[in-house]
A and B are shown apart, each in its own frame.
Chain A
Amino acid sequence: MADLKTVGTSVPRKDAIEKVTGSAEFIEDRYMGPMLYAKMKKSTVAHGKIKNIDTTRALKHPGVKAVLTGKEYPNRIGLYLIDRTFLAVDKVRFWGEPVAVVAAVTEKAAAEAVDLIEVEYEELPGVFDPREGMKPDAPIIHEDLANYEIVPIFYPEKGTNIANHFKVRKGDIDKGFAEADKIIERDYYVPQMQHVPIETHKAAVQWSLDGKLTVWSTAQSPNVVRQLLAKSLDMPMHKIRVISSYIGGGFGCKAGASIEGLLVPIAQKFPGHIVRIVFNREEDMQGTFTRQALYSKLKTGVKKDGRITALQYEMVWDGGAYTEYGVNIVRAAGYSSTGAYDIPNVKTDSYCVYTNNSIGGPVRGFGMCEMQWGIERQLEEIARELGMDPLEVRLINGMKKGSTTASGQVIHDLDYDKCLKVVADKIGWGKKEESRDGKYRGKGIAGLVKCPAQPSNAASSAMIRINEDGTAHVMIGATEMGQGMLTAISQIASEALHIPVDKIDIKVPDTDFTPYEWQSVGSRITYTCGTSVKRAAEDALGQIYRVAADLLETPQEDLSFDGKKVFSAKNPDLTATIREVADSCKKCTGEGIAGPIIGRGSFVPTNMTNLDPETGQGNPGLFYCFGATGVEVEVDPETGVVKILQLACSIDAGKAVNPQLCTAQLHGGTIMGLSTALYEEVRFDKGIMLNRNFTDYKIATIDNTPHMDSFIVETPETNGPYGARGIGEQPMIGVAPAIANAVSDALGVDFNTFPLTPERVWQAIKNKK
Chain B
Amino acid sequence: MLSYDYVKCNDLRLACQELEEGEQVYLLAGGTDLIVGMRGGKFSAKTLVDIKDVPELKVLEEDDRGITVGAAVTLNEAVVFAPIRDNVPILAEGCHSVGSYSIRNRATMAGNICNASPAADTAAPLYCLDALVNIKSSEGSRSMPIKDFFAGPGKTALNKGELVQSILIPRPYPEGKGVYLKASRTGSVDLATVGVAVQRWGEEVKIAIGAVAATPVRAFSVEKAINEKGEKNYADAARLVHDDISPITDLRGSREYRYHMVEVLVRRGLEQTLGV
A112 within 8 A of partner (CB): yes
**Distance, CA A107 to CA B2, complexed state (A):** 10
**Structural contact, A757 and B185, CB atoms closer than 8 A:** yes
- Contact residues in B for A758 (Cβ distance below 8 Å): 183, 185, 257
- A642 to nearest B CB, angstroms? 10
- Contact residues in B for A90 (Cβ distance below 8 Å): none
**Structural contact, B183 and A701, CB atoms closer than 8 A:** no
**Structural contact, B3 and A639, CB atoms closer than 8 A:** no
- B148 to nearest A CB, angstroms? 28
B186 within 8 A of partner (CB): yes
**Distance, CA A695 to CA B250, complexed state (A):** 13
- A439 to nearest B CB, angstroms? 13
For B190, the closest partner residue in chain A by CB is A698
**Structural contact, B251 and A701, CB atoms closer than 8 A:** no
Given contacts A691-B251, A759-B253, A759-B257, contact A108 B188 (CB under 8 A): no
- Contact residues in B for A111 (Cβ distance below 8 Å): 1
Q: Encode B164-196 as 1/0 by CB contact (under 8 A) with A.
A: 000000000000000000010111111101000
**Structural contact, B253 and A701, CB atoms closer than 8 A:** no
Contact of B260 among A678, A757, A762 (CB under 8 A): A762
Given contacts A112-B1, A691-B251, A759-B253, contact A698 B186 (CB under 8 A): yes
Q: Which of A683-705 contact B (CB under 8 A)?
A: 683, 690-691, 693, 695-696, 698, 700-701, 703-704
**Distance, CA A641 to CA B253, complexed state (A):** 13
- Contact residues in A for B257 (Cβ distance below 8 Å): 758-759, 762-763
Q: Which of B251-265 contact A (CB under 8 A)?
A: 251-254, 257, 260-261, 264
- A80 to nearest B CB, angstroms? 34
Given contacts A112-B1, A639-B183, contact A690 B188 (CB under 8 A): no
**Distance, CA A693 to CA B252, complexed state (A):** 13
For A702, the closest partner residue in chain B by CB is B188
- B179 to nearest A CB, angstroms? 15
A26 within 8 A of partner (CB): no
A433 within 8 A of partner (CB): no
Q: Which of A640-694 contact B (CB under 8 A)?
A: 641, 678-679, 683, 690-691, 693
- A255 to nearest B CB, angstroms? 28
Given contacts A108-B3, A762-B257, contact A703 B188 (CB under 8 A): yes
- Contact residues in B for A678 (Cβ distance below 8 Å): 186
- Contact residues in A for B233 (Cβ distance below 8 Å): none
**Structural contact, B252 and A107, CB atoms closer than 8 A:** no
- Contact residues in B for A704 (Cβ distance below 8 Å): 186-188
- A197 to nearest B CB, angstroms? 18
**Structural contact, A679 and B264, CB atoms closer than 8 A:** no
- Contact residues in B for A695 (Cβ distance below 8 Å): 36, 191
**Structural contact, B1 and A701, CB atoms closer than 8 A:** no
**Distance, CA A638 to CA B260, complexed state (A):** 9
**Distance, CA A90 to CA B236, complexed state (A):** 62
- Contact residues in B for A638 (Cβ distance below 8 Å): 264
B100 within 8 A of partner (CB): yes
**Structural contact, A759 and B254, CB atoms closer than 8 A:** yes
- A283 to nearest B CB, angstroms? 13
For A690, the closest partner residue in chain B by CB is B251
**Structural contact, A107 and B1, CB atoms closer than 8 A:** yes
**Structural contact, B185 and A703, CB atoms closer than 8 A:** no
- Contact residues in A for B254 (Cβ distance below 8 Å): 759
- Contact residues in B for A700 (Cβ distance below 8 Å): 186
- B49 to nearest A CB, angstroms? 22
> What is the interface size of chain B, counting residues whose CB is below 8 A from a CB of the partner?
22
- A368 to nearest B CB, angstroms? 25
**Structural contact, B251 and A679, CB atoms closer than 8 A:** no
- A125 to nearest B CB, angstroms? 26
**Distance, CA A107 to CA B3, complexed state (A):** 11
Q: Which of B16-41 contact A (CB under 8 A)?
A: 36, 40
**Distance, CA A762 to CA B260, complexed state (A):** 10
Given contacts A108-B3, A758-B185, contact A683 B260 (CB under 8 A): no
- Contact residues in B for A696 (Cβ distance below 8 Å): 251-252
**Structural contact, A701 and B252, CB atoms closer than 8 A:** no
**Structural contact, A639 and B261, CB atoms closer than 8 A:** yes
For B188, the closest partner residue in chain A by CB is A703
- A62 to nearest B CB, angstroms? 13
Q: Which of B207-254 contact A (CB under 8 A)?
A: 251-254
Given contacts A639-B261, A639-B264, contact A108 B186 (CB under 8 A): no
For A759, the closest partner residue in chain B by CB is B257
- B264 to nearest A CB, angstroms? 5
- B92 to nearest A CB, angstroms? 18
For B185, the closest partner residue in chain A by CB is A698
- Contact residues in B for A762 (Cβ distance below 8 Å): 257, 260
- Contact residues in A for B193 (Cβ distance below 8 Å): 759
**Structural contact, B185 and A701, CB atoms closer than 8 A:** no
**Structural contact, B260 and A641, CB atoms closer than 8 A:** no
- Contact residues in A for B252 (Cβ distance below 8 Å): 696
**Structural contact, A641 and B264, CB atoms closer than 8 A:** no
**Distance, CA A204 to CA B190, complexed state (A):** 35
- B33 to nearest A CB, angstroms? 11
Q: Encode A102-137 as 1/0 by CB contact (under 8 A) with B.
A: 000001100110000000000000000000000000
- Contact residues in B for A107 (Cβ distance below 8 Å): 1
**Distance, CA A700 to CA B254, complexed state (A):** 21
- A673 to nearest B CB, angstroms? 15
**Distance, CA A679 to CA B188, complexed state (A):** 12
**Distance, CA A111 to CA B39, complexed state (A):** 12
**Distance, CA A638 to CA B40, complexed state (A):** 35
Given contacts A696-B252, A762-B257, contact A679 B186 (CB under 8 A): yes
For A695, the closest partner residue in chain B by CB is B191
- A507 to nearest B CB, angstroms? 33
Q: Which of A69-122 contact B (CB under 8 A)?
A: 107-108, 111-112
Most buried by A among B186, B193, B252: B186
**Distance, CA A704 to CA B190, complexed state (A):** 12
- A194 to nearest B CB, angstroms? 15
Q: Encode B62-86 as 1/0 by CB contact (under 8 A) with A.
A: 0000000000000000000000000
- Contact residues in B for A112 (Cβ distance below 8 Å): 1
Contact of A108 among B1, B183, B187, B264 (CB under 8 A): B1
Top 5 nearest A-B pairs (CB, nearest first) are A111-B1, A703-B188, A759-B257, A696-B251, A108-B1
- Given A638-B264, A683-B251, A701-B186, 8 further pairs, Cβ under 8 A: A639-B264, A679-B186, A693-B40, A698-B190, A701-B189, A703-B186, A758-B185, A763-B257
Interface residues of A, Cβ cutoff 8 Å to B: 107-108, 111-112, 638-639, 641, 678-679, 683, 690-691, 693, 695-696, 698, 700-701, 703-704, 757-759, 762-763
26 intermolecular pairs with C-beta atoms under 8 Å apart:
A112-B1, A638-B264, A639-B183, A639-B261, A639-B264, A678-B186, A679-B185, A679-B186, A683-B251, A690-B251, A693-B40, A695-B191, A696-B251, A696-B252, A698-B185, A701-B100, A701-B186, A701-B188, A703-B187, A704-B186, A704-B187, A758-B183, A758-B185, A759-B193, A762-B257, A762-B260
